[in-house]
A = this chain, B = another copy of it.
């Protein structure tokens, strides 16, 4: 099927003959017009406008050494506003550098990530920006990527020494937990991800450091580290709060867990259930946190900035050959905002 689907794409040749010049003159004009007589440039541009010609970027990038102007971006979950903002930041900086982004969603699926990376490379991307899943890293090794620079965001990959942008997970979690301890809490629950998730590990470490430093023992019965979605987080919070010795405060290591915990707390208040109304410290901001029925301290950060930084690291490698090849890490600060 599909032998002819309307007029096919115009070529430089057609523009040339329409303007009465050679293809080379058209090419030069489009490339900036160096060494082309102004009147010919005018004729060429007129023909381009008249015919509605678009230069074929794929053919262009076929010539050796020519960059494609594409950046492959794979993130784990576009539905999460955090990653939406991240993607926006990347897109902004890419646009400033005249590049486009090829976007893929991995859904935390390792196989999908491999597939995306292969495809991106097949499409000749100039660089890759990745929020890696936690799986195997063989497909990200330099020898597999050839000369395509890679920047990791949010998470590291064990054994992969490349440019990375991170949040100050440990510091933020530490300060957030300290603020609870300062307020007199000693039974502080933890909701988060398991250690195999990079940020899950780091954020737990911050919590742990603060508790240890203040000599407050960590009670594993009020530490839940395996919730990926709001539903599971809500259940974990319920189990914690149903206990005799329920926590008086909860440290939530990410947005999903915070929402889940607040749902459960809201339910208990509505239903008039007894027990503490725990204070919350949330790693990740969310809208209207100030209107919640319990005080929410927010460990906030700018995902868009994280995206911008990732893109900046990437383009610095692309645009500067003399750059020290050693991997760089940027760790963005987070703020702790009291209610």
Interface of A toward B, CB cutoff 8 Å: 1-3, 5-10, 52, 54-59, 61-62, 64-65, 68, 70, 77-81, 83-85, 87-88, 91-92, 95, 100-105, 112, 118-119, 121-124, 143-144, 146-147, 259, 262-263, 266, 286-288, 290-293, 304, 321
Contacts and interface: CB of A to CB of B under 8 A. Distances in A.
16 contacts: A2-B65, A58-B58, A58-B61, A59-B62, A78-B84, A78-B87, A78-B91, A81-B84, A91-B104, A92-B105, A100-B104, A100-B119, A101-B104, A102-B102, A103-B103, A266-B288
A148 to B, nearest CB: 9
Contacts of A95: 104-105, 112
Contacts of A56: 62, 122, 124
Contacts of A119: 57, 100
A92 B124 CA distance: 22
The residue among A87, A104, A123, A286 with the most chain B CB atoms within 10 A of its own CB is A123
Contacts of A2: 65, 321
Contacts of A291: 262-263, 266, 291-293
B6 A147 contact: yes
Copies in the complex: 2
Nearest to A124: B58
A31 B85 CA distance: 38
A9 B146 contact: yes
A231 to B, nearest CB: 13
Nearest to A320: B1
A168 to B, nearest CB: 22
A124 B87 contact: no
A79 B88 contact: yes
Contact of A100 (B84, B121, B123, B293): B123
Contact of A91 (B54, B92, B105): B105
A309 to B, nearest CB: 16
A290 B265 CA distance: 12
A311 to B, nearest CB: 13
